[in-house]
Amino acid sequence: MKWFLLILPLCFSAPVMERDGIFSGRVSTTHPEAALMRVHVEFENLKYINKQNMVEFWKGMDSDKRCKARVIGKSNTYLLLKVFKYEVCERELFIERGSYVKFYSEDLVKNIKTGRELIEILLKKRLGIRGQLEDAKKNMDNYMGKVDSVNKRYEVLREKLEQEWKKEISYMDEDKNTTFSRYKELEIRLDEVEHKLQKYQVGDQNLNLDRWSLDPRLYYRK
């Protein structure tokens, strides 16, 4: 039990940075003449391995015997490695198709560190954007409330204006009727005056002239 207590801290004392750089894969093909090795790998942080990154690899638990290689090609599930001192590695590690290999990459550690820093920045940015989004939503909600308030206020004003408009129209109708009545009254009075003028018209002379009066022999002038 004491040994277990002593070993347990050691199991968790491996630096996080070192664990970030370790991954595993299986050799799919080898090309000794070109010193190339293609490895099938599947792990979440594969996206942080880039071309020209350096890796170390070994077989099984014997991590003392390591070989170095450079990543020269990459797909979603494969790495194409240019192995340094390929003959020595083939002899020491017995590289062959189907071999299970462990890898360590200092470049992967650095890339993951950069990724974590970027994630931290993005999380802060997301937090800020969410805060702005909430403020924008509040403003939108307030805007709708303001629109409703304005609509209600202008609805009251519209009703009041419509009432005033109807009242003015009513006044104008009354004035129109009054004016029309006055017009008719004046028209009747004018007709009466015209009639009386015609009735009481005074002629220029009282004598009626006929054709005999035009003969000077029948009358004389005084």
Q: How far is CA 1 from CA 4, 6, 8, 196, in A?
A: 5, 9, 11, 144
What was the pLDDT predicted at 34?
A: 94
What was the pLDDT predicted at 72?
A: 95
Using CA atoms, how far apart are residues 123 and 101, in angstroms rounded to an integer? 35
What was the pLDDT predicted at 3?
A: 38
Q: CATH 2.40.30.20: does it fit domain 7-106?
A: yes
Quick one: DSSP state of residue 222? -
- Running along the chain, 222 residues long, what does each successive block of 10 average in pLDDT? 36 55 94 94 93 92 86 95 92 88 95 95 95 90 83 87 87 85 86 81 66 57 52
What was the pLDDT predicted at 14?
A: 45
Rg (the chain; Cα; Å): 57
Compute CA 14 distance to the chain's CA centroid, rounded to the nearest angstrom. Answer: 47
What was the pLDDT predicted at 221?
A: 53
What was the pLDDT predicted at 15?
A: 53
What was the pLDDT predicted at 85?
A: 93
What was the pLDDT predicted at 190?
A: 86
* Domain-wise residue ranges, the chain: 7-106
Using CA atoms, how far apart are residues 139 and 145, in angstroms rounded to an integer? 10
Q: Single out the residue of 49, 44, 42, 25 nearest to residue 111, CA to CA.
A: 49
Q: 24-58 in b/e burial notation, b at 16+ Cβ within 10 A?
A: ebebbebeeeebbbbbebeeeebebbeeebebbbb
Quick one: DSSP state of residue 46? G
Using CA atoms, how far apart are residues 208 and 33, in angstroms rounded to an integer? 156
What was the pLDDT predicted at 218?
A: 56
Using CA atoms, how far apart are residues 108 and 110, in angstroms rounded to an integer? 5
Using CA atoms, how far apart are residues 184 and 181, in angstroms rounded to an integer? 5
